[in-house]
Amino acid sequence: MKIIGIGKNYVVDKSEIDDLKNDVQLIFTKPDSSLVTDSKDVVFPPITSQLIYEVELVVKIGKTAKNVSIADANSYISEIGIGIDYTAKDVLTANRDKKGPWALAKGFDGASPISGFKPVSEYPELDNINFDLVINGEKKQVGNTGYIIYNFAEIISFVSSFMTLNPGDIIFTGTPAIGAGETFKGDHLQASIEGELLLDFKMI
């Protein structure tokens, strides 16, 4: 399976969206070994001392997608979940200084905790899905897909023009524009879609 991520994909003000669309989406990939499922606790990665969380809606591909049009792209989504896209910020900074890739900073073991998935039919308005992240009882991030720069269909269409998406592939679709921050050992993270708690784990 493939795990696709997209960076810098939300705005604070919807009026910014049109100006920020430039047909150059910031796409990266993560290995499936980065996944943590079933709300299992996540071991703090020893490769970093600066671990940054970003809550994101995650879409699962339900059928083979290649060169898919934007108009048809949402029909390729089978399920939706929520996850945390972790970044080892210190590793990323070191790689950027050398103009290197993001792989080590985004793809380490435990970098992608994800919830179980719900049928896409449970979310009839894909451009109006609410989600949030609570850490240690405090709400840290709140998102709504109405503030997305490149929506689900545009992401799928763009990615499928470069690589075939297969059933079971998943896409992290971006984090709210504000609220991302640092995770520490002992943190309790809870992520919800439309008020339903779907991801609940501790960083150990």
| Burial of 36 (C-beta count, 10 Å sphere; 0-12/13-18/19+) | buried
Per DSSP, the three-state class of 32 is helix
Count of the separate structural domains present in the chain: 1
pLDDT band at 65; cut points 50, 70, 90: very high
78-112 pLDDT tens trace: 999 999 999 999 999 998 888 878 899 999 999 99
Given this model, what pLDDT does residue 99 score?
Answer: 83
Given this model, what pLDDT does residue 29 score?
Answer: 96
**Token output for 198:** 């779907």
- Dihedral sign, CA of 166, 170, 176, 179? negative
Rounded Cα distance between 59 and 120, Å, is: 9
Q: Are 172 and 83 contacting, i.e. CB atoms less than 8 angstroms apart?
A: yes
Structural domain boundaries enclosing 195:
3-203
Q: Report the CATH number at residue 7.
A: 3.90.850.10
Given this model, what pLDDT does residue 162 score?
Answer: 97
127-182 pLDDT tens trace: 999 999 999 999 999 999 999 999 999 999 999 999 999 999 999 999 999 999 99
Q: Are 65 and 160 contacting, i.e. CB atoms less than 8 angstroms apart?
A: yes
Which amino acid is residue 193, in one-letter code? I
Q: Quote the mean pLDDT of the chain.
A: 96
The alpha carbon torsion through 51, 127, 20, 3 (nearest 10 deg) reads 40
First to last CA, the chain: 27
pLDDT above 80: residue 23: no
pLDDT band at 22; cut points 50, 70, 90: confident
Mean local confidence (pLDDT), 61-84: 98
